[in-house]
Structure 1
Amino acid sequence: MHIIPKDEHPLPKGPMPDYVSHKEGVNQVGKLSAEVIVREYEAAVKEIEALGAELKDAAKRCEETVAGVHSMVNEIKELAASYREEGKRYFLQIEECSLMTSEVRTVCEELKKKIATTIAA
């Protein structure tokens, strides 16, 4: 009878990792046990490395997002400066109009007085 394990994560097939090798004199049970353990660890290492790659990709996306935010902040600063200049321009225009209106009133008042004195004389 041959039993097939229902393991969701089967051990990798093929040669053992190159960082281990069997010692002379180890019996077959010891070799198989050691291989099973090192393959389990190697499978975990592959998952850890995959997690590292995912984290690296996430960090890259975060860096891209941060770079985009910095770019937007610069655009916002430019927009704020532009609005400030526009506000200053309207401020100066309104004050110029106010000065001109005051000057027109003064000229008109003086002209009225001159006309009134000319007519009265």
Structure 2
Amino acid sequence: MANIERFPRNMAVDLAKLEADVTAASAGAAPPPLSGPLPDYVEHREGVSRVGQLTAEAVVRDYEAAAKEIEAMGTELISAAKKCEAMTAEVHTTIAFMRDTAASYREEAKRIFKRIEECALFTEDVRKTCETVKRRMMEDRSIA
């Protein structure tokens, strides 16, 4: 009696159907397949009871469903990896462009640096020439 009290009182059980299922399973009557053919990697062995076959089928179908989900995750990972590879290629292209741009800036800075120093030297030469001419003019005035 203690075991009966463990089950909920509102649980309806069709005893006639349960008895028919058990009788069919023990008599070897084949109930309809659960959901299509079994996966190719398993087949029933001779002598296994119908209950054993149904249990094995249920378990292998659960494992097969999980395996298909794992494969689907693998497909998603491959897709993500391809996106990462494409992004990595773009990053490498961008880095190469940035290096080229930096090198161009350095060359331009070098060119401008040289040009400014050339102008500074030219200006210094002009200033010295002007001072020399001015000094000569002053000397010429003092001689005359």
2:122 is matched with which residue: 90, 97, 100? 100
- Rounded to whole Å, the distance in 2 between the matches of 1:104 and 1:21 is 103
Q: Do residues 82 (structure 1) and 124 (structure 2) align?
A: no
- Rounded to whole Å, the distance in 2 between the matches of 1:89 and 1:13 is 78
Question: In the alignment, what sits opposite 2:61?
Answer: 39
Question: In the alignment, what sits opposite 1:9?
Answer: none
- Rounded to whole Å, the distance in 2 between the matches of 1:83 and 1:25 is 83
1:29 is matched with which residue: 44, 47, 51? 51
Bigger Cα Rg:
2
Question: In the alignment, what sits opposite 2:80?
Answer: 58
Gaps of 5+ in 2: 1-13, 18-33
Give the TM-score normalised by the residue count of structure 2.
0.74
Question: In the alignment, what sits opposite 1:7?
Answer: none
Number of positions where the alignment pairs a residue of Structure 1 with one of Structure 2: 112
Q: Do residues 67 (structure 1) and 84 (structure 2) align?
A: no
Q: Which moved more, 1:23-32 or 1:95-104?
A: 23-32
**What SS does structure 2 have at the residue aligned with 1:18?**
coil
The one-letter code sitting in structure 2 at the alignment partner of 1:17 is P
**What SS does structure 2 have at the residue aligned with 1:16?**
coil
Q: Do residues 13 (structure 1) and 35 (structure 2) align?
A: yes
Runs of 4+ in 1 over 6 A off after TM superposition: none
- Rounded to whole Å, the distance in 1 between the matches of 2:116 and 2:104 is 18
Give the TM-score normalised by the residue count of structure 1.
0.87
The one-letter code sitting in structure 1 at the alignment partner of 2:125 is E
Query: Over the residues paired in the alignment, what is the CA RMSD in angstroms?
Result: 1.4
Instruction: Pick 1 or 2: higher relative contact order, CA cutoff 8 A, min separation 6.
Output: 1
Displacement of 1:13: 2.4
Identical aligned pairs, as a percentage?
A: 52
Q: Deviations over 1:22-49 (max 9, x none)?
A: 0011121111111111000000000010
Q: Do residues 116 (structure 1) and 128 (structure 2) align?
A: no
- Rounded to whole Å, the distance in 2 between the matches of 1:51 and 1:106 is 81
The one-letter code sitting in structure 2 at the alignment partner of 1:84 is R
Displacement of 1:107: 0.4
The one-letter code sitting in structure 1 at the alignment partner of 2:91 is V
